[in-house]
Amino acid sequence: MKAWQEARKLVVDVYRLLDGFPKFETYALCDQIRRSVVSVSSNLAEGSGRFSLKEQLHFYEISYGSLMEAYNQLIIAADLNYIGADNLEELRPQIDTVARMLNGLRSSLIKKENNSKP
């Protein structure tokens, strides 16, 4: 699944970026960012393993929410000068790509679900 592959690339890039955070943030903001960004690909994987369209949709929506959570946390990190605005702008296209793919998956499942109703 292409969205899952792109989400995994985002995880790697975010993890590398977190290496430059202050040590006192290791178990605070860094941990939150790690969990939310990993949740994106994890929920995509779990959703793709579900047989029901409704369950797949549920996990893809959770994945999107986690993506927005990670993006928000990265904005906060930029506000605190833990990362530069340029770092955030470098990640933005990846985040946008994953968001578009998740929206596409969601739309596709909704269409399938509507077509399967009598």
92 within domain boundaries: yes
d(CA 113, CA 115): 5
If you average pLDDT over residues 4-16, what whole number do you get?
A: 98
Give the model's pLDDT for residue 115. 84
Calpha distance 65→105 (Å, rounded): 14
pLDDT the model gives residue 42: 98
Residue 117 is predicted with a pLDDT of 72
Quick count: other Cβ atoms within 10 Å of Cβ 28?
Answer: 11
Can you give the residue range of the structural domain that contains 67? 2-19+26-113
Q: How many separate domains does the chain show?
A: 1
Let me know if residue 108 belongs to a domain: yes
Residue 1: band (very low, low, confident or very high) from pLDDT cuts 50, 70, 90: confident
Residue 91 pLDDT exceeds 90 = yes
Give dist(CA 12, CA 5) in Å, integer: 11
- Supply the mean pLDDT for the chain: 95
CATH number at residue 33: 1.20.1440.60
The structure's pTM equals 0.93
Tens digit of pLDDT for each residue in 31-85? 999 999 999 999 999 999 999 999 999 999 999 999 999 999 999 999 999 999 9
pLDDT above 70 covers a percentage of the chain that reads 100
